[in-house]
Chains A and B, each alone.
Chain A
Amino acid sequence: MKKVPASLLSILTITLLLVPPAALAQATATSCVVSKVGNPAGNAPQCASTSVTGGTSSNAFVKTAEDIKAAYDACGKSPIDGTPSPGLTFEYPGLETCLANTLKSLGYKDDQVNNFITRQGNSLVSHSGQTGSGQCTECLGYVGEVIALWSNMSDPNQTLNTLPTAGSVNDLYSSSGFEAGGKHWVPLGTGLGVAIQPGDIAVAGSAGCGCDHIGIVHEVIDDISMNLIESNGGYDCRVTTVRANGSTSARERYTYYRAE
C-alpha cells in the first residue's frame, strides 16, 4: 500500500509534465471550423465573422453581400507579397468550386450560384501587377457579383458589368439611375443629408479622377459616417467591412443609389 501512492504520484507528475503547454492551451481555445474545399495548398482557413455567416442582416441585399464576403474569406489564400498584411490571393485551381460550395452551404441554390460564378469570372483584375500576385475581384466587380447572386441574373449587358471603372456610374447615371439585377437603381443624391440605409450602393468620384470607388452601405453610424461592405481590389484583395486604417467612410464623399 505504501509503494502505490509514491509510484502513482511520480508517474502522474511525469505524464503531466510531458504534455506540452501549447497543447493544453489549444484544448481550451475556441475552435473555428471553415470548409477547406478548394484550398489544395492546405493553407490555414480564415475564420469568417460570426455575424456574417450567421445571417444577422434583415436586408436581403446586404445579407447577400455578407455571404459573398464570407465565401471570399473562406476561399482566399494569404499572404500576397507587397500588400498590407494579410492580403489574399485567389488565383488557384479550385477557387470557383470553393466559392460555389461555400455559397451553397449558406443556402443558395445552384442557379443562383451559377449566376454568381459567371459574374465573378468576368470581374477578376490583376492585383498590383506584380509577378505571381494573382488576381482578385475589385470594387465594381464585387458589387456586380452581389447583384448577380441577389437577383439570380448574370446578364452580361447589365450596367455594372459593362462599365470600366466605379466612377463611371456617377458620370453616366447620377441623374437617371441605372438598370441592374432586374431593378432600376434610383439616384438618391450626393453627400450629407441623403437619408441612406443599408443596401444602398455608394459611389465616390468619377472616372479618371484616380479617386473613384464603389461599395454597399453596410451600417449607417451617424449623420456623417457609415461603414461600407466593399472589395479592396488592388489594396489587399479583401472584401471587408473594416478598413485597414481604422477609418469609417465619410458620407459626404459619396453618391447613393437604391433599388426601386
Chain B
Amino acid sequence: MDDNAHPLTPINNLNTVTPTDRPNFFKRYWLQLTLLIIAGILSLSVIILVITQNRTSNNSTSSPTTTATNIPLPTSNQLVQQPFKILSTSPKDQEKNVFAGELVISLTTDVPIVASSSLSLEFTPPLKYYTKFISSFPTKTVMAQVLGGLDTNTRYSIAAKDKTGKKIYIWSFTTSSDVGQGHSALNSELDKQTFETYYPLEKYFPYSTNDYSLGYVDHFKVKITLKHPGLNEDTILNEVKAWVKSKGVDPSTHQFIFVKGY
C-alpha cells in the first residue's frame, strides 16, 4: 500500500466503484451492458406476448365463435335478435339439378342470427323428415342439413321465417333424378334418438361393482349379471334401483332381470 495515499481512497484492485470511477466502468463494460439491456427489453416483450396469447386461447375455448381479439363476443343468451335480411342462399333461387340426398341448405344474412330459434325454414312440399341446424350461433352463415334427403325431380320452395313466423325470404329449386345411396345423417340421429327414448341409462353403462354388472337387453329392460354365488337378489335390486334413481330415471319405468355370470 502506498504510504502517501489518503486513508479513504479506495483500492482499485478491489473493483469497488465510486462515482469518480463510473465513466471508466461504462467504458470498459459497454458491450455487456448494452446486451443486458437488449435482453431485458426482449424478456419483457416475450412476457407480454405470452400473457396476451394465454388470454386469447382462454377466450377461444370458452366460445366457439370468439374472434382473434381479446374481447369475448356476447353469447346467444345475451343477444337480442335484430331484424335480418337474407343476402344469399345455397342452393340458389331457381337452381336446377340439385342433388336429392341429405342436402345442406345454407343462407347468409346481413346481421348475425343469434340462435336457432331466431329462424325457421318451411319446405313446400313438406320434408319426409326434418332439417337440423349445424351452424354455431351467432352466425351470419346459417347451415341446415336436410335429414332423410329430398324427393327426386321435385320443385321445392323454402320460406325463411323469423321468430314471429313472418316470412323473410322465399326461394325455390328443383332436385335432380339422382338419389343418395343412403341417409347417414338421418341414421345417426335415429340411432341417437333410439338410445335416448328406450335406453336412458345407456350413457352410464357399462356399470359394474364387485358383485354385479348392468346392461340393457331390450327397451327399458336391464340385465343384472351376478358375478359370484351367495348374493341376495333383493338387496342388489334395491341397490340398483337406488342407483337408477340417482341418475334421474324413475326405476318403475324399467324391468330388471337377474343373470348368473359365474
**Chain A residues in contact with chain B, CB under 8 A?**
3, 6-7, 10-11, 13-14, 17-18, 21, 81-84, 125-131, 138-141, 164-167, 192, 204-205, 210-214, 222-225, 230-235, 243-250, 252-253
Contacts and interface: CB of A to CB of B under 8 A. Distances in A.
B42 A14 contact: yes
Residue among A18, A127, A130, A253 with max Cβ neighbours from chain B (10 Å): A130
A221 to B, nearest CB: 9
Contact of A233 (B128, B181, B190, B215): B181
B133 to A, nearest CB: 11
A65 to B, nearest CB: 15
A167 B179 CA distance: 12
Interface string B165-209: 000000000011011111111111111101100010010011000
Contacts of B138: none
Residue among B182, B191, B202 with max Cβ neighbours from chain A (10 Å): B182
B90 A211 contact: no
Interface stretch (B67-75, B91-99, B232-240, B245-253): B91-99
Q: Is the interface of B mostly helix, strand, loop or mixed?
A: mixed
Interface string B5-36: 00000000000000000000000010110011
Contact of A213 (B36, B46, B128, B184): B184
Nearest to A144: B181
Contacts of A125: 101, 178, 180-181
B134 A84 contact: yes
B205 A222 contact: yes
14 contacts: A82-B104, A82-B143, A129-B98, A139-B184, A167-B182, A210-B149, A214-B182, A233-B184, A234-B102, A234-B149, A243-B188, A249-B191, A250-B190, A252-B194
A17 B36 CA distance: 12
A10 B182 contact: no
B101 A10 contact: no
A81 B192 CA distance: 25
Counting from the closest, the 7 A-B pairs by CB-CB distance are: A129-B99, A10-B35, A210-B148, A247-B192, A138-B181, A166-B182, A139-B182
Contacts of A164: 179, 181
B218 A192 contact: yes
B216 interface: yes
B205 A250 contact: no
B223 interface: yes
Interface in B94-139: 97-104, 106, 128-129, 134
Contacts of B90: 82, 130-131
A234 B180 contact: yes
A123 to B, nearest CB: 8
Contacts of A246: 192
A232 B50 CA distance: 41
Given A130-B104, A192-B218, A138 B182 contact: yes
Nearest to A230: B184
Residue among B178, B179, B183 with max Cβ neighbours from chain A (10 Å): B183
B99 A7 contact: no
